[in-house]
Amino acid sequence: MKNPITGLSKIFDNRIRLGVMSVLMVNEEISFNDLKQMLEVTDGNLATHLVSLEENGYVKVHKGFIGRKTNTTYSVTRTGEKAFSDHISALENMIKGIK
């Protein structure tokens, strides 16, 4: 039997990273502040997880300005999209396993 865990990505073990990816899948682009508000996490915490997602090539960062304030937005990469849908398929298989 195929191991159902294949496809599950370690990166999405973390709830915040999972949340960031879920939000990015349905929004073309989203700002740091909106992400923070939606996931109800602190600046530092969110920043750390975004860095690790970026290092894995799952998200793209765009730095911009609104007036003088920095406005950093994030979007999902192709690799990220693929990894996330593989992860969801793996989750589905796991759930089918209980039935």
Partner 1 sequence: MSSENQPLDSLRDVRDIRKMMERSSRFTSLSGLSCVAAGVCALAGAWAARRMIVNYYGDSKEWTYSGHSFAALKENLLLLAGAVLAAALISAFYFTWRKAKQQGEALGNHISRRVFWSMAVPLVAGGLFVFGMLQHDEWRFVGPGCLVFYGLALVNTGKYTVADIRYLGYCEIILGLLNILFGSYSLYYWALGFGVLHIVYGVIMWWKYERVKVN
Q: Is 51 an interacting residue with respect to partner 1 (CB under 8 A)?
A: no
Instruction: Using the rule CB under 8 A, give the single segment among 15-23, 49-57, 61-69, 75-83 that binds partner 1.
Output: 15-23
Quote the tokens at residue 93: 């298989």
Q: How far is the CB of 28 from partner 1 (least distance, A)?
A: 10
> Which is closer to partner 1, CB of 5 or CB of 68?
5
Query: Total residues at the site for partner 1 (CB under 8 A)?
Result: 25
Quote the tokens at residue 64: 């911009």
Quote the tokens at residue 22: 């879920």
**E strands, 1-99, in order:** 30-31, 59-66, 69-76
Instruction: Using the rule CB under 8 A, give the single segment among 52-60, 63-71, 74-82, 89-97 that binds partner 1.
Output: 89-97
Residue partners of 66: CB distance under 8 A and separation at least 6: none
72 three-class SS:
strand
Q: Across the strands, what pairs with 60?
A: 75
Residue ranges binding partner 1 (CB under 8 A)? 4-5, 12-13, 15, 18-19, 22-23, 25-27, 30-31, 34, 37-39, 88, 91-92, 94-95, 97-98
